[in-house]
Amino acid sequence: MARNKPGILNRLSLWVLAAVFGLLSVAPSAQAHYLDIAQFTFYQYEEAGRLRLRVDNLPQTAVPTQAIGLPEGCEILTRQQSGPGFLPSVEFELNCARGTQGLIVTPWGRDGGRVVFNYLDGSTNSLMLSGSRSGINVQLPDWNEEIEARSLASSAWLYLVLGTEHVLIGWDHLAFVFCLAMLATGVSLVWLITAFTVGHSISLALSYLGLVNIPITPVEAVIALSVVFMAREVFFTRDSRLCLLTKDADQLHDSSAHSQRWRMAVTAMFGLIHGLGFASVLGDLGVSASDTVVALAFFNIGVELGQILFVCAVLLTLALVRRALNMELLLIRAATFSVGGLGVFWTLQRVLGI
């Protein structure tokens, strides 16, 4: 019976490898720092009941020709759309009977949205909206009614949720954080994550406030390259989880070259780059000046919350695999190899797209 055990484990190993590769192969490859946050802009006409609605920032996966639902008493006079492209837009000219109120039902803005109102006198007003799985329903504007601003608590919650969601759908960011979780254990891991947090918090604020202005395309390429670098570190750093399990000293570099301080410095540096990617998302929200502090603070807190949730999920998975199957080494090796391969693919794709 003992001789059959290695064969069983080998077959199980193949299944684990196949599952890991299959899971990672469905990762989005292009814009990993994108949320479905649509901007709805209403334009008031002099003629009563006439207005124009423009919807921008539609993701490539959305179809601008998708239908919208109008309140009873409204009709679409014209419809124009741009695309194809990564951020297509669609524009409607509407005519509504006097006094018509209700919701315009749209399939866009599942992660949130911003509504801008352009009045005849040239003034504007804006409002942030929460998203839903089916999209955003926008209230038909009453041009004579003042827009009620969101409370501080509701604004803080909105940006907290958006920050958390952004991390949990950002495959390249998750890949980097996964490498951090594999690169160290215990207190060393806490310090690495802290260094990464400090780095991206600084660059997020500087970039969003306009003090640092770097095009997002090369930033995305460097983010992908950071995943490749960290995956390599997992394989060759003496106190990484992988090397602690293999205990193969021949493949390890001198530990002095991979000291904790050196790794923290590198992690903080890559955190600065990732923060620029976060800032591009926050910039797409079109945050009003009055919400700047709230948006920066709670979007960043949301990023940290999503990051912590992911690290806890990874460590819990490893603990369960270790307890149930004793296959922790195989899972780490396969996942790290796959993450590194994805990093190479993302890097090549984004460099060619510059």
How far is Cα 179 from Cα 188, in angstroms, rounded to an integer? 13
Shared-domain flag, residues 169 and 275: yes
Does one domain contain both 122 and 162?
A: no
> Does the residue 124 lie in any domain?
yes
**Do 169 and 316 reside in the same domain of the chain?**
yes
Residues 125 and 234 in one domain: no
Digits of tens for pLDDT over the chain (354 positions)?
A: 344 444 444 444 444 444 444 444 444 444 445 567 788 999 999 888 899 999 887 765 666 678 899 999 899 999 988 765 556 788 999 999 887 889 999 988 887 788 889 998 888 887 877 777 788 899 888 887 776 666 778 888 888 988 898 888 888 999 999 999 998 888 888 999 999 999 999 999 999 888 888 888 889 899 999 999 999 888 887 677 777 676 554 544 444 445 778 888 999 999 999 999 888 877 777 677 778 888 899 999 999 999 999 999 999 988 888 777 767 787 888 888 889 888 889 888 888 866
Q: Could you tell me if 102 and 217 lie in one domain? A: no
Domain C-terminal end among 96, 122, 148: 148
Whether 248 is covered by a domain: the verdict is yes
88 within domain boundaries: yes
Domain presence at residue 16: no
Residues 97 and 132 in one domain: yes
Judge contact between 76 and 60, C-beta under 8 A: no
Q: How far apart are CA 255 and CA 190, in angstroms?
A: 19
Q: Are residues 204 and 297 in the same domain?
A: yes
**Dist CA 256 CA 268 (whole Å):** 19
166 with 144, same domain? no
Of the candidates 148, 171, 204, which is a domain's last residue? Answer: 148
Q: Which residues contact 211 (CB under 8 A, 6 or more apart)?
A: none
Report whether 40 contacts 86 (CB < 8 A).
no
Residue 195 CB-half CA count within 13 A = 18
- Eight-state DSSP code of residue 320: H
pTM across the whole model: 0.71
The domain total for the chain is 2
| Residues 142 and 87 grouped into a single domain | yes
> Does 17 fall in a domain?
no
Interatomic CA distance for residues 158 and 288, integer angstroms: 14
Q: For residue 275, give the nearest of 211, 187, 324, 330 by alpha carbon.
A: 211
User: Integer distance in angstroms from the first to the last C-alpha of the chain?
Assistant: 58
User: What H or E segment, with its residue span, contains residue 302?
Assistant: helix 292-324
Domain boundary pick from 130, 148, 166: 148
Same domain, 258 and 233: yes
Residues 185 and 137 in one domain: no
Residue 276 domain-assigned (yes or no): yes
Task: Say if residue 110 is in the same domain as residue 233.
Answer: no
The whole domain housing 109 covers 37-148
